[in-house]
Structure 1
């Protein structure tokens, strides 16, 4: 079958690989519909392998070369013995995290912090940018009729964004600053708005800022052209915003968040910083600021996020700026997204 395979930095090949032979007990054979290109995928392409193992993964046994794709929707082609949560022909969204269920964190319900965590499309035999994928049945969730296959492929990044907003403690009526309007920041702004928060988005990139404005979920601020901290202080009667969700992984944006948040407010670090960033610990103490991080999402969030998109009509599909064929994955996907002058924000790959 055809698949997108990571071999090393700047080496992703569309090639023929052995197809799975069928679904074993507790497994589901899938035909992927759409798969998103994630920031993690971009890091692997630019400088990897980082997360992708070069030696057999302790939980899955997988190692590079790796079939890519962990944000995907699919059709169920076959179910193995004992599978009861989905049936053949159903459309599903795949929750890609694999956990051991035995370590300190898994036994406390923190499976996303599993010491041996694996991930479909990064450290597993199969991935979503392929004609077929074989995954444990526990990782697939049926899509309601109200959700499209494209929305199903966006459940994963929406779960990341929602977890960041939830961890910041955002409630109806709160003011929240989202720093960065990449895919996660854009989805975080959609989710925070749906809660009933007053949303501000800080973004210097004109393409991403335009996307944020098109969502019409809050006010978009350009930190290169204005004093964002001063503006937000004025907008909140000198108090500051209740919460900040830092989605850019940028040191200046993080410092803006510390300047903009109110005393006893919360900053959640959702964007990944690839190098150390400085903060002023004295401000954390004097103003009793809570600064915490998020990694992925609770595994139990999947059905809740699917329900929110369907029942509340969250327009998550509006963050998609390009839909491409597998053959164009590198040129129109990875290379375009890594180009500082590129005009895409979220790219989905048609895996069919």
Structure 2
């Protein structure tokens, strides 16, 4: 079968690999339908391997080369022994985080912080940019008829964004600043607006800013032209934002978050910083500000996110800017997304297009 396989820095090959074969007990065999390219995938391609293991992973023995893809939907082709909640023909979304279940964090329900955590498509035998994949049945959630295959591939990034907003305690009527309108920032803006918040987005990249405007969830500011913190203060009678969802992983944006949030307000650091960033901690103390990092999402959140999209109509598909066949995953996916002048924000790969 055909799959997109990561070998190293700037080395992804669409090639023939061995078919996974039938599923074992507690597993399902899937035909991946759509799979998103994540910022983690981009980092691996640009400077990796980072989280993709070069030596056997301690949880499951996975190592390079790696079939990519952890944001994906699929069709169930076959189920293994003991699997009862899905059957052949069902469409599903895959929760990719793998955990030991016995470490300090797993025993406290914090499985996303497992000390041995692995991830389908990054540190597992299979991934979603492939014609077939075997995954644990416990990690798939059926999609309702009201939800498209493409939306099913967006459950994972939506879960990331929603967790950031939830950690910030966003409530109806809150003024929420979202810094960065990449895929996670755009989804965070959509989700916060769905909760009844007044949303403001700060984004310097014109392509991403235009995407944010197309969502029609609130004002979009260019921090090169507007003092965002001052604008937020002005719009709130000098109080500030109730919450800031920092999705850019940019030092200036984090500093803006601290300056823009109100006293006793909440900042959720959802974007990943790849280098150190400085802030003035005294501002946190003087204004009783809560600054909290977020990592992935609760592993139990899939049914809720599927419900938000499929039954409550959260229009997550609006963040998708390109749909690309597997054969073009590098040229029209990774390379375009890494190009500072590129015209795409969220690219989904059609694994079936390679068949």
Question: TM-score by structure 1 length?
Answer: 1.00
Instruction: State the partner residue of 1:193.
Output: 193
How do 1:72-151 residues align onto structure 2 when only pairs under 5 Å count? 72-151=72-151
Instruction: State the partner residue of 2:183.
Output: 183
Task: Give how far 1:85 is off.
Answer: 1.2
Instruction: State the partner residue of 2:306.
Output: 306
Instruction: Map Cα deviations across residues 26-52 of structure 1 (whole Å, 9 max, x no partner).
Output: 000000000000000000000000000
Matched, 1:273 2:269: no
Task: Give how far 1:310 is off.
Answer: 1.6
Instruction: State the partner residue of 2:9.
Output: 9
Matched, 1:284 2:284: yes
2:213, 2:219 within 8 Å by CA — same for their partners in 1?
yes
SS of equivalent to 2:268? strand
2:143, 2:310 within 8 Å by CA — same for their partners in 1?
no
| Structure 1: distance between partners of 2:245 and 2:226 | 20
Instruction: Map Cα deviations across residues 195-227 of structure 1 (whole Å, 9 max, x no partner).
Output: 000000000100000000000011101101111
Instruction: State the partner residue of 1:53.
Output: 53
Instruction: Map Cα deviations across residues 303-330 of structure 1 (whole Å, 9 max, x no partner).
Output: 0000011222011001000000111100
SS of equivalent to 2:300? helix
Unaligned runs of 5+ in 1: none
| Structure 1: distance between partners of 2:218 and 2:117 | 36
| Structure 2: distance between partners of 1:193 and 1:82 | 41
Instruction: Map Cα deviations across residues 88-124 of structure 1 (whole Å, 9 max, x no partner).
Output: 1000000000000000000000000000000000000
Instruction: State the partner residue of 2:68.
Output: 68
| Structure 1: distance between partners of 2:42 and 2:137 | 28
| Structure 2: distance between partners of 1:39 and 1:281 | 28
4+ residue segments displaced more than 3 Å: none
Task: Give how far 1:182 is off.
Answer: 0.1
Instruction: Map Cα deviations across residues 26-81 of structure 1 (whole Å, 9 max, x no partner).
Output: 00000000000000000000000000000110111100000000000000000000
Instruction: State the partner residue of 2:21.
Output: 21
Instruction: State the partner residue of 2:348.
Output: 348
Q: Which shows bigger deviation, 337-346 or 304-313? A: 304-313
Task: Give how far 1:145 is off.
Answer: 0.3
Unaligned runs of 5+ in 2: none
| Structure 1: distance between partners of 2:218 and 2:121 | 34
Instruction: State the partner residue of 2:36.
Output: 36
**What RMSD over aligned residues (CA atoms) do the two structures have, in Å?**
0.4
Instruction: State the partner residue of 2:168.
Output: 168
SS of equivalent to 2:172? coil
| Structure 2: distance between partners of 1:255 and 1:154 | 29
SS of equivalent to 1:258? helix
Task: Give how far 1:180 is off.
Answer: 0.2
SS of equivalent to 2:45? helix
Instruction: Map Cα deviations across residues 244-292 of structure 1 (whole Å, 9 max, x no partner).
Output: 0000000001101111000000000000000000011100101010000
2:120, 2:126 within 8 Å by CA — same for their partners in 1?
yes
SS of equivalent to 2:181? coil
| Structure 2: distance between partners of 1:231 and 1:40 | 32
| Structure 2: distance between partners of 1:292 and 1:305 | 22
| Structure 1: distance between partners of 2:216 and 2:185 | 14
